[in-house]
A and B are shown apart, each in its own frame.
Chain A
Amino acid sequence: MSTTADAISQMRAEQSWMQRNKMIVTPLLFLLPGVLFFAVYVVIPIFQSFQISLYRWDGLGEATYIGLGNYQELLTDRNFEISLWNNVKWLVLYLLAIPAGLFIALFLNQTVVGIRLYKSLFFFPFVLSQVVVGLVFSWFYLPREGLLNNIITAFGFESVNILGDPTLATYGIIAAGLWPQTAYCMILYLTGLNAVDPEQVEAGRLDGAKGWKMLWYVILPQLKPATFIAFVVTIIGALRSFDLISIMTNGGPFGSTRVLSFYMFERALSEFGFRMGYGSAIAVVLFFIMLFFIAYFLYSMWRDEQEARR
């Protein structure tokens, strides 16, 4: 008896530490590069932003600790308030891309000659760079020469200067952003529609469902994963709405189209900015807004997984 036990322990001793622990060490090693980069480029900077937001610092000289001073200033900063409201407008109105994308996807989900071509044409705006989209729309909106105003005046209305009017400019930019975002949602729904179970549709039809009822009770529940992804990318897209603003209005007129990310950039990194602490404080606020959504996404994914396991 004792000889076999001895033999095993001897074998164990002969195995190196590496061999004994390889079930733990191997995955850790594989994870290491990713974890390292994620920590250096994402996690640590987040905490650094928290820290910097407590200082007054121009990015070069000495940083002075001012506690929550930057946040106090944010509370009375009207530009911050405007940016925050604009973010809300973006979040709400950008979601229009989801029903619009669904509508186009349903419309294109048929077998006609050349449907692939039509689909790709509808998808085209998403392939364009945001910068190009911004430029095209700012020409479209031009006060006199623009196409939009030519159409409006042809019908006898007064011409409008959308991007020059502080009350309209943000909506003008969101409309520009919706163009590619709708295309994105459309492609998500198109792939989703491919996975719709024809038997369920058949069964629904036998039970007398058609039109809206068919869509609402049979098709849409099956598109739930696509809707979820469309929701996620649209929310994230709305929070990242930086390039369009920068191209189309540069935050103007008089700061009425800024959103938090743009305001943060302006305060911390632009030509007249370099208030790193203040910029970080804005970044922290933006981070918590994002965290709210991300937590929700993670929670609903986790819940779905739980349900799938049951």
Chain B
Amino acid sequence: MRSIFKTSAAALAAATMLSGAAQADLEGTLTIISDMSNPGPRAVMEGLAADFDALHPNLTVDLTIVDREAWKTQIRNALSAEPPDVVNWYAANRMAPYVNSGLFMDISDWWDAGDYAGLESVRGAMTMNDAQWGVPYTYYQWGVYYREDIFNELGLSEPTTWEEELANCQVIVDSGRACYTIGTRFLWTAGGWFDYLNMRTNGFDFHMELARGEVPWTDDRVRQTFANWRQLIDMGAFIEDHQNYSWQEALPFMVNGQATAYLMGNFAVDQLRNAGLTDDQLDFYQFPAITEGLDMGEDAPTDTFHVASGAQNVEAARAFLQFVTSADVQSRINGPDGLGQLPVNANASVADDEFIQQGFEMLSQNATGGIAQFFDRDWPAEMASIGMEGLQEFMVFPDNLDDILDRLESARQRIY
């Protein structure tokens, strides 16, 4: 009761100060729990906290960094008992449990007040139940990262259609390599393949209808997606025993040249470079078109900041969100020295990096179909986990497809 009163009082205070929030002299403590625990992101987050602290002499920033995987289960406890002011999370359906249970604060007013100039295009990803529940701070493209040197050796070029893709892959398989490396042990990598194949086969809108549970999994269009997938599986496009590997364990296949490409998020680039591949050996292309004439949809998962509804220092939280999304800070934290990803603010500059530039171009010019978050963020959590398990099974035993689709369909009927 006390905290509710405090929150509403604080919200009232924030509302009366409105646009002056960032300039106002902030006081007290701002507690942030972040999941940016990998070394690079961690430094970025610590830098952000320190800078914000320095900007506001009377404010102390109390930053806690939690392991990224652990945070996925800890966030519930963190938000319900003695909540911090600001937390990290993900956009789209992943917000649903916290939005529905009222643990994230509705910050639509701040969006409406113009706190986040330059973020109009990403507002949709933060919207749920007609309100906004946080701000994004970074996103990254997905696509095919491939060994340019092997492509050159085999005389291949980046495919843009499914026929070219299959022809390329046949050449690669004939040369004794696998076309794609993948590690499906933790399932989500298979989700990426399904996202792309389904968006290219049936279009972005159909993909989202499926995500919202409006289309049965046994639909013929879904079967067509799997039929296309099966073409690759049957020709031996994927490495063997991928169900044993995590996505990191699948990297050496590409580094050693046993596989030529990887459908992955941009975060793989860092690892591939660290493994010794130069930019001459690596390149990127957009997942090729399958059904002609469909607008390309892309996966571009967005990471976010949210204010807990039990936040004690709402004013400071508001200022921090504005600080993080401002064009300057966005250019800096997403730059090559920071996260090496795409800034969410349209006014921010995009880092001068081969892959980030290509990704930015792809997403801003050739993703007219729409931007999806990712299989495990667009689908409701339970459907995502059952779904990804089915996708993995399909990749190992494609003959089980009917059984898998029946199972997913009965799960769909139960969950939605």
Contact = CB atoms under 8 A, between A and B. Distances in A.
Interface string B374-401: 0010000110110001101100100000
Contacts of A253: 243, 392-393, 396
Contacts of A250: 185-186
Contacts of A17: none
Contact of B73 (A73, A270, A275): A270
A272 B244 contact: no
Contacts of A221: none
A24 B384 CA distance: 58
B103 interface: yes
B235 to A, nearest CB: 20
Contacts of B69: 271
B80 to A, nearest CB: 7
Interface residues of B, number: 29
Main secondary structure of the interface of A (DSSP, over half): loop
Interface stretch (A57-65, A97-105, A191-199): A57-65
Contacts of B185: 249-250, 252
Given A250-B185, A254-B389, A274-B76, A143 B101 contact: no
Given A252-B185, A269-B73, A61 B240 contact: no
Contacts of B382: 272-273, 275
A161 B186 contact: no
Nearest to B380: A272
B100 interface: yes
Interface string A146-169: 000000000000000101100000
Contact of B72 (A60, A266, A271): A271
A237 interface: no
Interface string B81-97: 00000000000000001
Interface string A42-71: 000000000000000011110000000000
A142 B186 CA distance: 17
A78 B244 CA distance: 23
Given A60-B97, A61-B100, A78-B407, A254 B392 contact: yes
Contacts of A125: none
B174 interface: no
A142 to B, nearest CB: 7
A56 B347 CA distance: 46
Contacts of B407: 78
B243 A61 contact: no
A143 B241 CA distance: 7
Nearest to A254: B393
A204 interface: no
A255 B243 contact: no
A163 B243 CA distance: 9
Contact of A163 (B73, B244, B392): B244
Contacts of A73: 414
B298 to A, nearest CB: 23
Contacts of A249: 185
Contacts of B187: 252
Interface of B: 69, 72-73, 76, 80, 97-98, 100-101, 103, 185-187, 240-241, 243-244, 376, 381-382, 384-385, 389-390, 392-393, 396, 407, 414
16 contacts: A58-B97, A60-B97, A142-B244, A252-B187, A252-B389, A253-B393, A253-B396, A254-B393, A270-B73, A271-B69, A271-B72, A272-B382, A272-B384, A273-B381, A273-B385, A274-B97
6 closest cross-chain pairs (CB), A and B: A272-B385, A60-B101, A254-B393, A61-B101, A143-B241, A272-B381
Given A254-B396, A269-B73, 20 more contacts: A58-B97, A60-B76, A73-B414, A143-B240, A164-B241, A164-B244, A252-B185, A252-B187, A252-B392, A253-B243, A254-B392, A255-B389, A270-B73, A271-B69, A271-B72, A271-B73, A271-B381, A272-B384, A272-B385, A274-B76
